Amino acid sequence: MNFYDEVYELCKKIPKGKVSTYKEIGKAMNSRAYRAVGQALRNNPYAPIVPCHRVLNSKGELYGFNGKMNNKNLKDKEKLLLKEGVKVKNNKVIDFEKKLFKF
């Protein structure tokens, strides 16, 4: 189990309708490598399996999903979030702290 896989496993554990943060994931694996977590998700070889769109920055914002990267799928991911019950407004999650999933 390398670092990346660890990240993916944790992401998969995030229940539907909940979100998490890079920091939490880092803490969950006894590390402060929240940056490396970002790299793992950015690669994301398990595209549909790993719900990388449920991982946000500490402010509860979609960082690099909808504005910076121009993947069309990412647009759908926001829709997917809404469908799961996570309200997204201007790339920010409403009631983020309430929906935050801790490991």
Cα separation, 2 vs 97, whole angstroms: 29
Residue from 12, 15, 16, 31 that binds DNA (CB under 7 A)? Answer: 31
In the complex, the smallest distance separating the C-beta of residue 17 from DNA, rounded to whole angstroms, is 19
Instruction: For residue 70, state whether it binds DNA (rule: CB under 7 A).
Output: no
Residue from 10, 14, 19, 33 that binds DNA (CB under 7 A)? Answer: 33
Contacts of residue 25, Cβ cutoff 8 Å, sequence gap at least 6:
7, 10, 11, 34, 37, 55, 103
Give the phi and the psi of residue 75 in degrees, each rounded to 5.
-60, -45
Instruction: For residue 46, state whether it binds DNA (rule: CB under 7 A).
Output: no
Which runs of E-coded beta strand occur in the chain? 20-21, 55-56, 88-89, 92-93
Q: Which residues are catalytic?
A: 52
Residues near DNA, by CB under 7 A: 2-4, 21-23, 31-36, 38-39, 41-44, 52, 55, 57-59, 63-65, 68-69, 74
